[in-house]
Amino acid sequence: MSIDSDNGTPARATYREQWLARARAWPRRHWPWDLAAFLWGLAEATVFFLAAEILITWLALSNPLRALRAALFALAGGIIGAAILYYWGGRDPFSAMTLLSALPGLTPEILSAAEEALMNNGLWALPDGVLSPATGKAQAIYAQALGIGIVPFLAVYAAVRAFRLLLAGCITLCIGGALQCFLPRKVVILLWALAWAAIYWGVLLT
């Protein structure tokens, strides 16, 4: 806080001081969500079958800026997770495939289709795969063995993953914001939960 030069009493904080105070306080208020998003993104890219978009869309219903920040942390976790699977698949693809085949929604057919797509289309097959959490894991395992370098692989992964996160957040913000204009917040949250339940019910049935 600045000091009034005339009488020595505290003066109103300048705009810059207020901005710096808010910037210093932001990490303390938001780090639990940032950490949760990072760990969720890391887990989803490796051994977890629930998409990080669940957390991002939940945050988008009430705080778009917090959702955007969490999306960046989820993206960072996802990139690290994809790199782990990339190198794991290059060193021991059998153990990696054995673990992933036990995950819900990741069938032997998906693993085979991911390998075939990479063999036929190379790097151009990655965008379609990353849009699907299950197929993206399978592609990460096969990418190194099929001659796709780590830099182009992670570049495409990051771009498509960012698109997925931002698209989910924007759709939720638009639809959720519109619904909250005439529905109670609890009803909107219930509809959000039912939508995700329907998505994963469909995934588990296929």
The pLDDT tens digits for 134-186 are: 677 888 888 888 888 899 999 998 998 999 999 999 999 999 889 988 899 89
Residue 110 included in any domain: yes
Residue 23 included in any domain: no
Residue 20 included in any domain: no
- The predicted model gives 112-138 an average pLDDT of 77
Alpha carbon distances (Å) from 168 to 31, 78, 107, 132, 193:
21, 16, 25, 13, 14
- What's this model's pTM, rounded to 2 decimal places? 0.80
Residue 4 included in any domain: no
- Residue 5 is predicted with a pLDDT of 47
Residue 43 included in any domain: yes
- The rounded distance, in Å, linking the Cα atoms of 192 and 197 is 9
Structure tokens that stand for 178 in this block: 């519109």
Closest CA relative to residue 72, chosen from 101, 106, 40: 40
pLDDT at 36 over 90: yes
Residue 25 included in any domain: no
- The rounded distance, in Å, linking the Cα atoms of 192 and 184 is 13
**Whether 84 contacts 100, CB under 8 Å:** no
pLDDT band at 114 (very low <50, low <70, confident <90, very high): confident
pLDDT at 15 over 50: yes
- Residue 192 is predicted with a pLDDT of 93
Structure tokens that stand for 145 in this block: 């063995």
- Residue 59 is predicted with a pLDDT of 93
- Residue 28 is predicted with a pLDDT of 58
Across all residues in the chain, what is the average pLDDT?
Answer: 82
- Residue 74 is predicted with a pLDDT of 96
- Residue 89 is predicted with a pLDDT of 86
Number of domains in the chain: 1
Residue 179 included in any domain: yes
- The rounded distance, in Å, linking the Cα atoms of 206 and 161 is 23
Domain that holds residue 201: 33-205
